[in-house]
Amino acid sequence: MTVLSVNLNKIAVLRNSRGGNEPDICLAAQTCIESGCGGITVHPRPDLRHVRPDDVRALAALLRGRVEYNIEGNPFAGPRGQYPGLIALAREVRPTQVTLVPDGDGQITSDHGFDLQRDIERLRPLVAELLELGCRVSLFVDAGTENFEKAVAIGVRRIEIYTGPYAQAFADGQPAAALAACVDTARRAQQAGLAVNAGHDLSQANLGTFKAAIPGLAEVSIGHALIGEALYEGLATTVRNYLQILR
C-alpha cells in the first residue's frame, strides 16, 4: 500500500500565528500515527515561517521506531540564526528520508523541482553525506523530468513528483494531460530503478484518480489540503479518509 506521510507544516503555521505551543505539533503527529499514517513530513525553512528546528528534534524523538520521518528542504540554504541548515538537521536527527527541494525564501510554497541535467553535480556530495547518515534520499522533480539515470548514479533512491499542476488541472476539470505527464515521469523513474513519491496539493478529491494511474506509487506527502479538511471533520477522521482512498 502507498504510504501516507502527513505534512505538519500548517499546524506550525497556526501555532506561530499566536505564539506559545498550541496547537501542539507533537500531539498532532501522535493523532496521525494513531489514525494509521505511515509517516510524518516536515519542511523547515531558514525563515522559520512554520516548522522550527526544535520541532524537528522533538518529532524525531516521538517518531523513532514508529513511523517514517521525512524532512524536506533546500540543501543549498546555509545556516541562519536558529536554522542550522538541512544537512546539519539530518545529521542531528537521522530521519528515514530526506527530500531535497530547490525552494527559495521568496516562494510561498515549493513550486518547481530540480533540473537533473544542471543540478546533479552540485547534489552529488550532499547526497553522499546523507547516505552516510543512513537517510534515504528523494529528489523533488517536475512532471516531464528526464535523466533519472544521473540521479541513480549519485545514490538517489526516490523522486517526489511535484503534483501542483495536476491538482490545478483536476480542479479545472481537465486533468488528463497533466496526469499523463505524471504517469510517464513515474514510469521512466521506475525503469531507471527509482521508487516514486508524490506531493503538493493532493487532496481527497484528486488523490484516488492519481493513485489509480500510477502503479507502485510508494508514498504521498499531504499537508495543506489534509489539515484544511481536518478543520471540518477532525484530524483523525481525515487521516483515515485518506488511508481508505489509498487502499
Report the CATH number at residue 162: 3.20.20.70
Given 50, 160, 200, 219, the catalytic residue:
200
Q: What total of structural domains would you count in the chain?
A: 1
Q: Catalytic annotation on 121? A: no
Q: How confident is the model at residue 113 (pLDDT cuts 50, 70, 90)?
A: confident
- pTM given for the model: 0.96
Given 43, 160, 219, 229, the catalytic residue:
43
Integer CA distances (angstroms), 235 to 3, 130, 162, 231, in order: 17, 32, 24, 7
- Rounded to whole angstroms, how far apart are CA atoms 163 and 143? 8
Q: If you count them, how many residues does the chain have?
A: 247
Q: Which domain covers residue 115, as residue numbers? A: 3-246
What 3-state class would DSSP assign to 192?
coil
pLDDT at 185 over 90: yes
pLDDT at 133 over 90: yes
- Rounded to whole angstroms, how far apart are CA atoms 219 and 15? 27
Percent of the chain with pLDDT over 90: 94
Given 50, 72, 219, 229, the catalytic residue:
72
Q: What is the mean pLDDT of residues 173-186?
A: 98
Q: Catalytic annotation on 200? A: yes
Q: Catalytic annotation on 233? A: no
